[in-house]
Structure 1
Amino acid sequence: MSLFKEFKEFAVKGNMMDMAIGIIIGASFNKVIDVLVKKVFLPPLSLLTDGVNFAHKRIILKEAVTDNADKIITEEVAIGYGALGEAVLDFLIIGFTVFIVVKFMNRLKTKAQDSKDKTVVTPKDIELLSQISELMEEQNKLLKSK
């Protein structure tokens, strides 16, 4: 099968569009979480810690070397643990949000797959499998009674 034909099948099935939409929403969601962490969560935390800005917290391994005119000759070497803390907070918020969304989607999926629940439309394939299962149970009962 040619590469173009495979790509065409992939695009027509909607996988490519679903993936593109997911990537775009994910990138936008990342920006929202970044602002949420930097502008909503960290300022009160900074206020509680007497104005400490966590983004600038670091462990200096080697000081910067400057000349008499305060021109930097060599840059400082530092471990920026404050930026790491912000990234970890971003990750935790995104991870928790994705967990909640997946949990909600799984609940909807489970509800839709329950053929006895009439509040949600059951997909046709699940409905047919359910009917086949019921017929097989009836057949087994008839065979056991003989």
Structure 2
Amino acid sequence: MGMISEFKEFIAKGNVVDLAVGVVIGAAFGKIVTALVDGIIMPIVGALTGGVSVSDWKHVLTPAQIGPDGKALVAEVAIKYGAFLQTVIDFLLIALVIFLFLKAYNKMRKPADEAPAAPSEEVLLLRDIRDSLKKV
């Protein structure tokens, strides 16, 4: 079997198409949650922290050196943990919303309670024996 025919068989299985749809929807969903975090949640957090944007939070290791003409001679060296924190919040919100969505989806897909299984042949035989003994 050639590589091309194997590839055609792989594509035709349908799992690849499902995966591609999931990736596209996931990317679009990620943009929605990022817009929610950037546009609503982080401005509220920034207002609570004195008007500073979370993405601007940093720890300066070495401040910039400014020359007499006002230009930076040496750039600032800083650990910019605010952008990382904002990305972590994005991730956690995306994970929470996906979890809630999948939980609702699985609840909706759950089949109705099935009828109890029929008794086994042994149980039926034992019942027949019991009923026969009652008649005697």
Q: What TM-score do the two structures reach when normalised by structure 1?
A: 0.73
Task: Identify the range of structure 1 (31-40 vs 1-10) with the bigger mean alpha-carbon deviation.
Answer: 1-10
Distance 1:20 1:42 in 2: 31
* Amino acid aligned to 2:43: P
1:63-78 map, 5 Å: 63-78=63-78
Please list every run of 5 or more consecutive structure 2 residues that lacks an aligned counterpart in the other structure.
130-136
Change (3 A) 1:144 1:6: farther
Measured in 1, the distance between the counterparts of 2:62 and 2:2 equals 57
Given the superposition, is the C-alpha separation of residues 64 and 142 from structure 1 closer, same or farther in structure 2, using an over 3 Å criterion? Answer: same
What secondary structure sits across from 2:60 in the alignment?
strand
Structure 1 pair 115–8 and aligned structure 2 pair: CA distance change class (3 A): farther
SS in 2 for 1:68: coil
Question: Alignment partner for residue 140 of structure 1, among 110, 117, 122?
Answer: 122
Verify: 1:55 aligned to 2:55, yes or no.
Answer: yes
Structure having greater relative contact order (Cα 8 Å, sep ≥ 6): 2
Separation of aligned partners in 2, 1:142 and 1:52: 76
Aligned residues: 128
Which letter does structure 1 place at the counterpart of 2:20?
A
- Cα drift, residue 23 of structure 1: 0.8
Cα distance in 2 between the residues matched to 1:109 and 1:97: 18
Q: In structure 1, what is the equivalent of residue 134 of structure 2? A: none
Q: CA deviation digits over 1:86-110, x for unaligned, max 9? A: 1121111111111112212222332
Larger radius of gyration: 2
The residue aligned with 2:132 is none
Gaps of 5+ in 1: 117-129
Deviation per CA, 1:51-79, whole angstroms, max 9, x where unpaired? 12111110011122343333334322211
C-alpha distance in structure 2 between counterparts of 1:5 and 1:141, whole Å: 53
Aligned to 2:13: 13
| Segment of structure 1 superposing worse, 22-31 or 70-79 | 70-79
